[in-house]
Structure 1
Amino acid sequence: MDVLIIGFSSIVRRRVLPAVLTLPGVTKIHVASRCGDPREMIPEQRRGMLLADYETALKRCPPCLCYVSLPNSLHAVWAKKALDKGHHVVLDKPAVTRLEDALALADLSTERGLCLAEANVWPYHPLAEAFQQVIREDGSPPQAVVAVFTSPPLNPDNFRYQPEFGAGALLDRGPYAVSSGRFLFGQVPARIACDIVSSEAQGRVDISFSTTLSYPCGSSLLGFFSLGAVYRNSLSMIGGRYACEAERIFTPPADFRGTVVVQQGNARHNVETASGDTFAAFLQHVMDQIASNDQAKFAEILVQDATVLDEMRKVAQHCLPEHH
């Protein structure tokens, strides 16, 4: 299968393209980019068309797997164009900025028999599997999950600070909160609370937020996420007879060998995990499901997560003064 990448973004250069190059099932890699030259990153024998125009790329490339990596507000437009041309589509997270776009794209992908997936890839690392293994061995879900992903301010020109491009921490980090609950509880939250802790651009760009997602099983996820705080990247969970925690879980480098600290009763031990390229594992899974014509689940997950994130944004309370 060929892969067409639309947008030569930082995440494409650092993670997506290196991951695609490891996949034996990928024949040619095409790139449409309005800035940057991917030529040196792609071996000649796998180098397809390198184009500067997205529309031209979609027309000239035969139907394949199209990875869209553009500013958030442009995802839906180019996903629809790709689906209309018969391409399977993977979108950077957040897949969309509006719930209605998620619903429309999912309907279109179903109608065309195509894949529509959001690249929220952290559950594909062995760290995440270690969390689920603890739950399976105990036989009961965690009572509480605490997710934290904060980082210092980005370059002021970054699209995450530009409202017209789908700015803010809720869109950028919210998918981690939503997917953490889905991954560990296997349920949709019954109640959602979300508060904007700080914002910029006269309140139009949320910089930090906290959230509590309460699930039908009686458990809760508590999260704090920020584009303007000291770096933290952690997930922990507490059950009746166990607890565990891990660092760098949401964005582990491809060569990262993580540690999960597990407590069972009064005994503590470390579970050392293997490294794992989350993007490669996710994309391989996508390609395998397409090959078996079993790709519909990806669109279902995308819509489910978009629905929860939409509700978080609706209930968010802009109650604090602007922080810089």
Structure 2
Amino acid sequence: MKSNHNVPFRGSIIKEKTRGPNAQPCCTPYLYQMVLNEERQELNEREEKTQYEKHDFMTREKSTKTEKTSSQKRGHKTKSKGYFTCHQCRKSFNLKQNLEVHMRVHTGEKPFTCQQCGQHFSQKGNLKKHMRIHTGERPFICQECGKSFTVELNLKYHMRIHTGENTFTCQECGRSFTQKQSLKFHMRIHTGEKPYTCTQCGKSFAQKNTLNYHMNTHNGERSFTCQQCGKSFAHKHSLKVHMRIHTGEKPYTCTQCRKSFAQKNTLNYHMRSHTGEKLFTCDQCEKSFTTEVNLRYHMNIHTGEKPFKCDQCGKRFTRKISGCCTLVVV
């Protein structure tokens, strides 16, 4: 199935504006799912990175204490300190094995593979943490609200919700985050930065894990199948969210109008109908939208492209609509 990803995208990002009466929230469940999962994956990667750096730091600290016990040892350690240096980025390590692990950042080597979903990791410890997604193990529990986490660092970040400490606020829209990295990712909404590009189709993404999800559209790996309708998914969590279509489960409820949704990010988009927040604007007519997908559909009006065709009556449209015959993307 083709898509309209190749449409020239000339939209830009603006600050919060008053919501117009005709704006229609629209986004594919697949996009929601990518956004829903990317934060969890990014947090896990940051936990892994922190644990690795902590190990290297503790090794250096131990070496420093050893140096103080003997002038002879101190001289030897000074000569060897930072001896193992990455020739690509010049970062130094006092242990050769740390350098070897670091080199996987440049080579892309990921020798540890999950036997359940096929995801690859550069370190064995990262795979161990990942397995908690499949086993459901969440050993780190918040003593305030009982919420549990797969990694300790996520609990640490979560505790800031209760303590209110070290919050990071967006200067563009005022939204606050408990992690600096989350603010960095959020800022790409305003800047439009998409540093991760698919090597097969050229589509770009704001976050690496969104690209990873996208790559499944090319490799065709869909290991998780719905037993009710036969639809297959590349990720177990995607199947879990899909099952809510059959069960009718909608665990996310709007506190203002009590409308419920199957996905958290669908609720987030809905909340903009109450706040009037419209981050995406057309640089040709300055009309703004609550979602990037709506802006992309709108851009088809300016380009004249009509990628949606009714396979029964032959009519073409700039976006998916209801009330016509069966629509297909051409």
TM-score norm. by structure 1 comes to 0.28
- More contact order relative to length (CA 8 Å, sep ≥ 6): 2
The structure having more radius of gyration, on CA atoms, is 2
